[in-house]
């Protein structure tokens, strides 16, 4: 099982509580971006193209805690930029652990080994290491040679230090499924708890616009990737989300599932689309015209998107929101010996 | 790589209300600093991270380049704007990186 039972129980009881109270829209994971700067400039990333004075800004720990309290989601993902470059990242993590939030600190791992001793292992803290595939593919995706080896070394150190570690892989058009079988074996051999996968999203500002996946290509690639799925491969994803990526079930996007807070405020409407900002979570939930997003809306920007931040919340809602969903999840999980 | 032409150094002509609204929409989408001149001749250089044009008093929000605070500028107070800062999203193409990689693999200098 890739996710500890205690965490699953927390998420399940949170979702069931919302369902019982008749709350239709609720957040599952807060995407907390405490800074925009990064020590890499990956071609697939549209997050770091800002003037220098913007890149130098940081959310304070107090702003982070305020956002977490406002949002109320049981899980907090900390992307960026590169969160380990934030001067107060240890204080932020400690504050979130104290609040019993399950944290996924997303890092390229360049600074991880150096900073590891500043963190304390906890059930609530997972280092989610960006690994976009085997050595060659990864170093091309991050536009810098040698990063794969640095990340592998950091993963080993973190696992040895007793930390929870997952990998986070974005797949782009042209990915060769055969190479990824060995990659999954290699990652599991490092001792990671599980692997996260997601198709890339075409950020308008990302320099690489040609290599993002369209819906049918996504389904074909993930079917190919998972057709020889080994029991040793643990995915840190809902079983139904994996079914969705292969085209076995159809879901609609839940754009409010992973709300984003960063130096500009609460981002409208989702982690991927940047259409404006409001200053409170309540305002985000109440003022966003949610019907304008998702595939059914006909919004061109949503047409081909199958990214985890919109569809994983749908899969989780389906799992815990109905008996049918729970049975579907159990079947999918048992089919792969999870 | 996006084929969109960069708006760097562009000075929109603000003859009508629509011109102003369109320019501020583009300023919001621009990944560089904008210089805004107010009707009282004050100049503000900063990054436009938000705009709200569908409220009674439309406004833009900026991070000024010279201080760490968010400021709000009302559309009605704006006399002109220039896309003065470097467009940080322009010119960083995937194609260039791939060419470098190919050259490297072929053992050629790049």
Q: Are A64 and A92 in contact (CB under 8 A)?
A: yes
Q: Which of A36, A47, A50, A266 to mutate to test the interface with B (most CBs of B within 10 A)?
A: A50
Q: Where are the alpha helices (H) located in A111-146, listed in sequence order?
A: 112-115, 135-141
Cα gap B101→B88, rounded to integer Å: 23
HEC-encoded secondary structure of B17-69: HHHHHHHHHHHHHCCCCEEEEECCCCEEEEEEEEEECCCCCCEEEEEECCCCC
How would residue A170 be classed by pLDDT, with cut points 50, 70 and 90? Answer: confident
Please give, rounded to a whole number of angstroms, the shortest distance from the CA of A209 to a CA of chain B. Answer: 5
The ipTM (two decimal places) reads 0.88
User: Between chains, do B97 and A210 touch, taking CB under 8 Å as contact?
Assistant: no
Cα gap A215→A314, rounded to integer Å: 17
Q: Nearest-CA neighbor of A81 among A53, A125, A49?
A: A49
What predicted TM-score, i.e. pTM, was given to this entire model?
0.91
Nearest-by-Cβ selection for A277 from B49, B93, B98: B49
Please give, rounded to a whole number of angstroms, the shortest distance from the CA of A16 to a CA of chain B. Answer: 36
Q: Is the pLDDT of residue A209 over 70?
A: no
Q: Which of B1, B2, B103 to mutate to test the interface with A (most CBs of A within 10 A)?
A: B2
User: Between chains, do A54 and B85 touch, taking CB under 8 Å as contact?
Assistant: no
Query: Which residues, at least 6 apart from A48, have a Cβ–Cβ distance to it below 8 Å?
Result: A36, A37, A38, A41, A55, A81
Instruction: Please tell me whether residue A107 adopts helix, strand or coil conformation.
Output: strand
User: Between chains, do B65 and A43 touch, taking CB under 8 Å as contact?
Assistant: no
Q: Nearest-CA neighbor of A195 among A29, A40, A338?
A: A338
| pLDDT digit string, tens, across residues A81-117 | 999 999 999 999 999 999 999 999 999 999 999 999 9
Q: Which residues pair with A103 in a beta bridge?
A: A76, A125
User: Between chains, do B50 and A276 touch, taking CB under 8 Å as contact?
Assistant: yes
DSSP A83: G
The string of DSSP letters for A243-271 reads HHHTTSS-----TTSS-EEETTEEEEE-S
Chain B residues 18-47 with a CB less than 8 Å from chain A: 28, 31-33, 47
| pLDDT digit string, tens, across residues A33-80 | 999 999 998 876 778 899 999 999 999 999 999 999 999 999 999 998
Chain A to chain B Cβ contacts (< 8 Å): 63
């Amino acid at each position: 099982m890739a996710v500890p039972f205690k965490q699953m129980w927390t998420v399940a009881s949170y979702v069931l509580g919302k369902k019982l109270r008749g709350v239709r829209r609720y957040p599952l994971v807060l995407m907390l971006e405490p800074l925009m700067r990064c020590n890499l400039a990956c071609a697939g990333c549209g997050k770091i193209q800002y003037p220098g004075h913007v890149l130098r800004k940081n959310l304070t720990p107090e702003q982070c805690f305020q956002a977490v309290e406002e949002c109320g989601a049981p899980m907090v993902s900390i992307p960026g930029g590169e969160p380990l470059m934030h001067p107060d990242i240890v204080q932020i993590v400690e504050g979130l652990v104290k609040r019993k939030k399950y944290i996924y600190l997303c890092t390229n791992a360049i600074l991880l080994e150096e900073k590891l001793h500043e963190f304390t292992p906890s059930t609530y803290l997972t280092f989610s290491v960006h690994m976009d595939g085997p050595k060659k593919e990864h170093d091309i995706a991050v536009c810098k040679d040698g990063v794969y080896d640095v990340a592998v070394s950091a993963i080993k150190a973190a696992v040895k230090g007793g930390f929870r570690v997952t990998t986070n892989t974005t797949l782009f058009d042209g990915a060769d499924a055969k190479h990824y079988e060995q990659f999954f074996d290699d990652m599991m051999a490092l001792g990671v708890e599980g692997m996260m996968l997601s198709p890339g999203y075409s950020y308008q500002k990302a320099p690489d616009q040609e290599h993002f996946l369209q819906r049918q290509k996504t389904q074909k690639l993930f079917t190919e990737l998972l057709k020889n799925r080994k029991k040793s491969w643990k995915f840190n994803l809902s079983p139904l989300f994996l079914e969705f990526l292969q085209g076995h079930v159809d879901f609609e996007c839940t754009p409010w599932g992973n709300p984003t807070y960063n130096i500009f405020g609460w981002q409208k409407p989702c982690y991927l689309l940047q259409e404006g900002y409001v200053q409170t979570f309540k305002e985000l939930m109440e003022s966003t015209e949610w019907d304008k997003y998702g595939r059914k809306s006909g919004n061109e920007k949503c047409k081909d998107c199958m990214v985890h931040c919109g569809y994983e919340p749908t899969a989780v809602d389906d799992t815990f929101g109905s008996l049918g969903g729970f049975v579907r999840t159990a079947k999918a999980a048992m089919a792969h010996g999870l | 790589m996006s084929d969109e032409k960069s708006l760097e150094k562009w000075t929109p002509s603000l003859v009508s209300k629509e011109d102003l609204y369109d320019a501020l929409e583009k300023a919001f989408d621009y990944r560089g600093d904008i210089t805004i001149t107010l009707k009282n001749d004050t100049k503000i250089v900063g990054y436009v991270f938000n705009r709200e044009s569908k409220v009674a008093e439309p406004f833009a929000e900026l991070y000024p380049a010279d201080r760490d605070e968010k400021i709000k500028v009302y559309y009605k107070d704006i006399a002109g704007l220039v896309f003065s800062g470097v467009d940080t999203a322009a010119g960083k193409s995937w194609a260039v990186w791939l060419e470098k990689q190919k050259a490297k693999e072929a053992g050629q200098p790049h």
